């Protein structure tokens, strides 16, 4: 029964991609029953899922830049400073009187992201501390940029700058707010919790209607009292209702899964190695270039090779990469993070054809050795570790007619009934990833 129900929900979701079909009442009684059941479970709501055609740009993009920035840049001890160091809401609020970024230039941010080869940027419009980077009437206590020392909307110029560089725009929003005791005790303090929930709905509506077309809504912190999962808190946030409001203003926006609803794609956070087979759903690997997400001194900055390795390991498994930077209190992205991103951009200039617009496969990845992406008649083998002087591959769907080393000048290859063998001298291998393009014979007419 469970498997059958999921099949029904999938059919309903496909039908729901076309509102005119729903209006025409083409669903069967069984499908209607499944849709009604799914809508009663706010974590499912398959009718909210975007159709594949509206996700193509994101799946083609592969690489984005995340920005964590807010009041927490002032103490410079990470975005969880308020909670980790048990700073009272009253004491933390005093940081707003100091927040006046003298060198905030979102155009330079967007240009850096473009130079890095990113196709989209995501900005923390409001993190768990509750401070909003825009003029937010829905903000409890006017805790926003307009009522800080900055006295201006800091989000609007970011959106304009990113669009101006031809990149897609994403906004991060956390529904939780450490200033509310009701977040930690929603059932014991229902009135305070209701105030928190009302703020969330009001602020999300502001973000969705005020800044023109937004491409990504990046939820975070949907769980309650830092316990359980986002889905466990769905009874409180009602994420189906919340995201239906989002869709009213932004019908084609991509929504991640951290509101308690399943989302249009999956998310994986942190710098752990990426392993396993190709994943069924599109997904995104997000990590920070520095030790924390918000600004801290640059003690643990990732190298270009480390980011490139994550990128290769993600795209061969149906994923994207979202790499985070943490600007300082004045709005400057620190130099080591800048250097890393520029290095990624240089790598993508040479290897972009194996990244952008590709899809994973046809070969399953081998952890620590290789994976594959495909575009047209080309299969790109991303080699992250050579087990020997030669690499053996299984047979491909069609005959290989040529091989090209995107990482260097030399590649030798042979083919037989068992598959293909590639050989590249160490001097012609990439420092992080060696990319070999195998051209296949055209498909038979």
| CB-based contacts of 316, cutoff 8 Å, min separation 6 | 278, 360, 365, 370, 371, 372, 373, 382
| Model pLDDT for residues 231-289, shown as the tens digit of each residue | 999 999 999 999 999 999 999 999 999 999 999 999 999 999 999 999 999 999 999 99
Residue 428 backbone class (left: φ over 0; alpha: ψ -120 to 50; beta: rest): alpha
Fold match between domain 51-354 and domain 361-440: no
Instruction: State the pLDDT confidence band at 52, using cuts at 50, 70 and 90.
Output: very high
Q: What is the pLDDT of residue 23?
A: 32
Domain limits of the chain? 2-40, 51-354, 361-440
Which residues share a beta bridge with 373? Answer: 360, 380
Q: How far apart are CA 130 and CA 17, in angstroms?
A: 34
Residue 228 backbone class (left: φ over 0; alpha: ψ -120 to 50; beta: rest): left
Mean pLDDT, the chain, rounded, equals 92
Burial of 302 (0-12, 13-18, 19+ CB in 10 A): buried
Q: What is the pLDDT of residue 353?
A: 98
Instruction: State the pLDDT confidence band at 416, using cuts at 50, 70 and 90.
Output: confident
Instruction: For the domain covering 51-354, report its CATH number.
Output: 3.20.20.80
Q: What is the pLDDT of residue 7?
A: 32
| Spatial contact of 75 and 291, defined as CB atoms under 8 Å apart | no
- From 268, 204, 278, select the one nearest 237 (Cα to Cα): 204
For the cut 60, the answer to whether the pLDDT of residue 31 exceeds it is: no
Q: What is the pLDDT of residue 24?
A: 32
| Spatial contact of 225 and 183, defined as CB atoms under 8 Å apart | yes
Residue corresponding to tokens 């099949």: 7
As given in the structure block, the two tokens for residue 16 are: 């729901």
Distances (CA, A) of 407 to 118, 367, 379: 20, 20, 15
For the cut 90, the answer to whether the pLDDT of residue 32 exceeds it is: no
Q: What is the pLDDT of residue 16?
A: 34
Q: Which long-range contacts (CB under 8 A, 24 or more apart) does 5-11 make?
A: 5/34, 5/37, 8/34, 9/34, 9/35, 9/38, 9/44, 9/46, 10/46
Distances (CA, A) of 71 to 123, 133, 147, 184, 216: 14, 9, 13, 22, 23
| Model pLDDT for residues 192-208, shown as the tens digit of each residue | 999 999 999 999 999 99
Model-level pTM greater than 0.85? yes
> For 45-59, what is the mean pLDDT?
97
Instruction: For the domain covering 361-440, report its CATH number.
Output: 2.60.40.1180
| Model pLDDT for residues 377-401, shown as the tens digit of each residue | 999 999 999 998 999 999 999 999 9
| Spatial contact of 295 and 76, defined as CB atoms under 8 Å apart | yes
Q: What is the pLDDT of residue 409?
A: 86
Distances (CA, A) of 147 to 72, 128, 136: 16, 18, 9
Q: What is the pLDDT of residue 39?
A: 54
Q: What is the pLDDT of residue 445?
A: 65
| Model pLDDT for residues 283-333, shown as the tens digit of each residue | 999 999 999 999 999 989 999 999 999 999 999 999 999 999 999 999 999
Q: How far apart are CA 205 and CA 317, in angstroms?
A: 34
- Which position has the higher pLDDT, 415 or 135? 135
Give phi and psi for 193, each to the nearest 5: -65, -40
- Comparing 165-169, 321-325, 343-347, 387-391, the range with the smallest average pLDDT is 387-391
């Amino acid at each position: 029964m469970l498997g059958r129900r999921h099949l029904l929900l999938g059919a309903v979701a496909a039908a729901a991609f076309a509102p005119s079909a729903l209006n025409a009442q083409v669903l069967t009684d069984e499908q209607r029953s499944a849709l009604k059941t799914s809508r009663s479970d706010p974590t499912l709501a398959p009718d909210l899922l975007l159709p594949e055609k509206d996700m193509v740009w994101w799946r083609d993009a592969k690489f984005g830049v995340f920005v964590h920035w807010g009041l927490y840049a002032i103490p410079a001890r990470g975005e969880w400073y308020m909670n980790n160091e048990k700073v009272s809401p009253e004491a933390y609020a005093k940081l707003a009187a100091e927040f006046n970024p003298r060198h905030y230039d979102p155009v330079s941010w967007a240009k850096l992201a473009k130079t890095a080869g990113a196709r989209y940027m995501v900005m923390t419009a409001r993190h768990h501390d509750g401070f909003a980077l825009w003029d937010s009437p829905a903000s409890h206590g006017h805790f926003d940029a307009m009522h800080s020392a900055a006295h201006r909307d800091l989000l609007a110029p970011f959106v304009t700058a990113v669009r101006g560089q031809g990149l897609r725009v994403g906004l991060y929003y956390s529904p939780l707010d450490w200033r509310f005791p009701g977040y930690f005790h929603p059932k014991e303090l229902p009135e305070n919790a209701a105030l928190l929930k009302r703020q969330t709905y009001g602020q999300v509506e502001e973000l969705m209607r005020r800044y023109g077309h937004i491409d990504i809504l990046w939820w975070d912190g949907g769980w309650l009292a830092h316990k359980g999962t986002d889905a466990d808190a769905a009874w409180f946030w009602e994420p189906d209702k919340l995201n239906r409001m989002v869709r009213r203003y932004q019908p084609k926006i991509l929504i991640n899964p951290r509101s308690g609803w399943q989302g249009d794609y999956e998310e994986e956070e942190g710098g752990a190695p990426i392993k396993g087979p190709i994943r069924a759903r599109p997904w995104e690997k997000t990590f920070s270039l520095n030790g924390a997400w918000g600004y801290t001194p640059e003690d643990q900055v990732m190298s270009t090779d480390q980011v490139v390795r994550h990128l290769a390991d993600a795209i061969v498994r149906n994923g994207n990469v979202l790499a985070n930077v943490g600007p300082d209190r004045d709005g400057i992205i620190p130099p080591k993070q800048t250097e890393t991103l520029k290095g990624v951009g240089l790598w993508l200039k040479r290897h972009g054809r194996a990244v952008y617009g590709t899809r994973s496969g046809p070969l399953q990845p081998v952890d620590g050795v290789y994976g594959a992406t495909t575009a047209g008649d080309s299969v790109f083998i991303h080699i992250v570790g050579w087990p020997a002087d030669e690499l053996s591959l299984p047979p491909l769907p069609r005959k290989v007619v040529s091989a090209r080393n995107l990482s260097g000048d030399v590649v030798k290859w042979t083919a037989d009934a068992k598959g293909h063998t590639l050989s590249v001298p160490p001097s012609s291998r990439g420092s992080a990833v060696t990319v070999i393009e195998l051209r296949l014979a055209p498909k038979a007419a």
